[in-house]
A and B are shown apart, each in its own frame.
Chain A
Amino acid sequence: MSDDLRELYQELVLDHGRHPRNRRHPDSFNHEAFGKNPMCGDALVVYLMLDPQGVVTDCAFMGEGCAISMASASLMTEIVRGKTVDQANALFAAFQHLATGEGEVDESVLDEDDLDRLQALSGVRQFPIRVKCATLAWHTLHAAMQGEEMVSTE
């Protein structure tokens, strides 16, 4: 198997891709958004519970897709829990940076452990058409936090 392929499908990605965490419809949530990747037809919904201080107390998603999109959504739901909206936005920016090589990352506000886990998805950089699979969940989360109902990666 080629190294690029191993880079893309790291163990953590395969694990979360096969067994996505927090793929459920939560009983209570106060933000949600629907995200779609028109090119491949993948779609998912992100549900968010924000407390009055703007801290994510729960994050879940529903949807089906490729291993990359499922793993990304799964890791995201775990990582953003307990974060403030600002921290979650900073993670979104960091994730976009590592998936595309574009933009700037302010590492001072980020947890090293979180970054390590997100790093598992950086293999998509070598696969331009798969970048959107990885970023769909994050775009949808961002939309949910902004109070938008719908987002498309196009």
Chain B
Amino acid sequence: MAKETLLSLENASVHYGGVRAIDNVTLKVDEHELIALMGPNGAGKSTVLKALIGLAPLSRGQVRWHGVAIKPKTHEMVARGIAYVPQGRQVFKSLTVLENLELGGYTLNNRSATKANIESVLHLFPSLREKLSHKAGLLSGGQQQMLTIARGLVADPKILLLDEPSLGLAPKVVKEVFEKIAEIHRERCIAVVVVEHSIKSVLAIATRVFVLSRGSVVLEGSPDSIDSEALHRVFLGQS
């Protein structure tokens, strides 16, 4: 059965002032895919996610939702079922873990649905359950990252966009985070786009890989089809 394309970027370019962040990027997110978006610093990975969620306006090209060209506004994209977890663990430090999770249920517009979803999300993150009444700012880095992902899931999204969930975490914690992402993908049957630096951890779980370099897609395919030498050349800046 052919999978349906949920969300796509078509020949998209984004400029910040005079700086071209991405150029002519085309990328499709199909149902239940786990896409790895890789590339060196400044390649434009975060910008691709921001374009998809409506935080970075396109100077050229299009965003499509179920094949229809749209003008992405952030709150509408969230309402359509896209959750975005930005780079750099943005928990609300002065609020408790539970309050952070509750804020994630805004688009459900329904207290009991939010409660039920938090309950089901906590099954995935048992370590958060013990800390529900703690201030989020007091969690460890790994726990904060888990919380931002969990908060994104409360809205019961169809697509989860994750920007460098491993940033600044110890290797052991990175492994946990990626196991969790794989589990979410498996159990919740949602599409995931994850931006990642660490090649090994993400190639192990991805179903498709995009490699960006200087704003353009330079490699694309299934994880097995990606030539590891070519990949290393990109990261060393030789391509």
- A interacts with B: no
Binding site for B on A (CB under 8 A): none
